[in-house]
A and B are shown apart, each in its own frame.
Chain A
Amino acid sequence: MWDYTEKVKDHFLNPRNVGEVENPDGIGEVGSLACGDALRLSIKLDEKKRIREAKFKTFGCASAIASSSALTEIIKGMTLEEAEKVTNQDIANYLGGLPEEKMHCSVMGREALQTAIANFRGQEVTKEDYEIVCKCFGVTDKDIERAIKENDLRTVEQVTYYTKAGGGCAQCHPKIEAIIERMRKEMEKESPPPKPDKRKLTNIQKIKLIEETLGREIVPALKADGGDIDLIDVDGSKVYVALRGKCSFCPSSEFTLKQYVESKLKEFVSDDIVVEEVKP
Chain B
Amino acid sequence: MKTVYVDNNATTRVAPEVLEAMLPYFSEFYGNPSSMHFFGGQVQKKVNEAREQAADFLGAEPSEIVFTSCGTESDNAAILGTLDSYPEKRHFITSRVEHPAVMNISSHLSRKGYRTTEISVDREGRLDLDELKESIADETALISIMYANNETGVLFPIEEVGEIVKSSGIPFHTDGVQAAGKIPLNMKKSTVDLLSLSGHKLHAPKGVGILYIRKGTKFSPFMIGGHQEKGRRGGTENVPYIIGLGKACELAKKHLGEENTRVRTLRDYLEVKILEKVPNTLVNGDRNNRLPNTLSVSFEYVEGESILLLLSDLGICASSGSACTSGSLEPSHVLRAMGVPFTAAHGSIRFSLSIYNTKEEMDYIIEHLPPIIQRLRDISPFWKDYLKSQGKR
Interface residue ranges, A against B (CB under 8 Å): 12-13, 15, 18, 29, 33-40, 57-65, 101-102, 136-137, 160, 164, 167-168
CB neighbours (8 Å) of A168 from chain B are: 329-330
CB neighbours (8 Å) of A40 from chain B are: 381
A59 and B324 in contact (CB under 8 A), knowing A13-B313, A29-B381, A33-B382? no
Q: Which of A57, A59, A64, A65 has the most CB of B within 10 A?
A: A59
Q: Which residues of B (206-223) have their CB < 8 Å from a CB of A?
A: none
In this assembly, does B128 line the interface, its C-beta being within 8 Å of a C-beta of chain A?
no
CB neighbours (8 Å) of A57 from chain B are: 379-381, 384
In this assembly, does B358 line the interface, its C-beta being within 8 Å of a C-beta of chain A?
no
The residue of chain A having its C-beta at the shortest distance from the C-beta of B324 within the complex is: A61
A36 and B303 in contact (CB under 8 A), knowing A12-B309, A167-B330, A168-B330? yes
> Pick the contact of B324 from A13, A18, A58, A60 — CB < 8 Å?
A60
Report the separation of the CA atoms of residues A62 and B346 in the bound assembly, to the nearest whole angstrom: 13
Q: Is the CB of B382 within 8 A of A36?
A: no
Q: Is the CB of B379 within 8 A of A34?
A: no
Report the separation of the CA atoms of residues A57 and B384 in the bound assembly, to the nearest whole angstrom: 10
> Pick the contact of B381 from A59, A61, A63 — CB < 8 Å?
A59
> Pick the contact of B322 from A38, A58, A61 — CB < 8 Å?
A61
Report the separation of the CA atoms of residues A79 and B380 in the bound assembly, to the nearest whole angstrom: 27
Q: Is the CB of A62 within 8 A of B330?
A: no
Q: Is the CB of B309 within 8 A of A164?
A: no
The residue of chain A having its C-beta at the shortest distance from the C-beta of B326 within the complex is: A101
The residue of chain A having its C-beta at the shortest distance from the C-beta of B301 within the complex is: A59
The residue of chain A having its C-beta at the shortest distance from the C-beta of B341 within the complex is: A33
Q: Is the interface of A mostly helix, strand, loop or mixed?
A: mixed
CB neighbours (8 Å) of A102 from chain B are: 324
Q: Is the CB of A36 within 8 A of B380?
A: no
The residue of chain A having its C-beta at the shortest distance from the C-beta of B327 within the complex is: A101
Report the separation of the CA atoms of residues A36 and B52 in the bound assembly, to the nearest whole angstrom: 48
Q: Is the CB of B306 within 8 A of A37?
A: no
Kindly provide the distance from the CB of B149 to the nearest chain A CB, expressed in whole angstroms: 22
A33 and B346 in contact (CB under 8 A), knowing A18-B379, A59-B381, A64-B303? yes
> Closest 6 CB pairs between A and B?
A167-B329, A61-B324, A61-B305, A57-B381, A40-B381, A59-B380
Q: Is the CB of B342 within 8 A of A33?
A: yes
Report the separation of the CA atoms of residues A37 and B379 in the bound assembly, to the nearest whole angstrom: 12
Kindly provide the distance from the CB of A139 to the nearest chain B CB, expressed in whole angstroms: 11
Report the separation of the CA atoms of residues A36 and B306 in the bound assembly, to the nearest whole angstrom: 12
Kindly provide the distance from the CB of B11 to the nearest chain A CB, expressed in whole angstroms: 14
